[in-house]
Amino acid sequence: MIEYLDPRAAVSTPTTPYTLGIELAGSNQLTVGMLANGFPDSENFLYLIAEALQADEPGINVAHYNKGNASISASDEMLNSIKTECQALITAYGH
C-alpha cells in the first residue's frame, strides 16, 4: 500500500483576504499612479501596464513616477504628489 504525505505544514496564522481595491470599470475621472523603483526596466514595465490598462478602460488617466534609486524610500514630496493626484497606485520592482 502507498501512503501519500502532504509536505505542507499546518497553517498557524489565519488567512486574511486582501480587500482594498478600486473599481476601474467605467471610471472616467480616475488617475492611477505608476511608481517605478529605479531598477532597470521597472519604468518600461509600468508603461506597458499603463498601456494595457488604458486599452481595457480608455477613460483612465495615468501618472508616472520614478524613485530613481531602489535603495531609498520615495520622497515626501513624491508621496504627497501621488496622494494628491491619484486614486490608486501600482508599483514595480524591476531588475
Q: What share of the chain is helix, strand, coil (3-state, %, to 5)?
A: 25, 20, 55
Q: For residues 14 and 72, what is the distance between their CA atoms, to the nearest angstrom?
A: 33
State the average pLDDT over residues 52-81.
93
The string of pLDDT tens digits covering residues 26-53 is: 777 899 999 999 888 899 999 999 999 9
Please give the distance of CA 74 from its chain centroid, rounded to a whole number: 15
pTM of the model: 0.76
| Cα-based distances in Å from 79 to 4, 11, 18 | 51, 36, 22
Q: For residues 29 and 61, what is the distance between their CA atoms, to the nearest angstrom?
A: 7
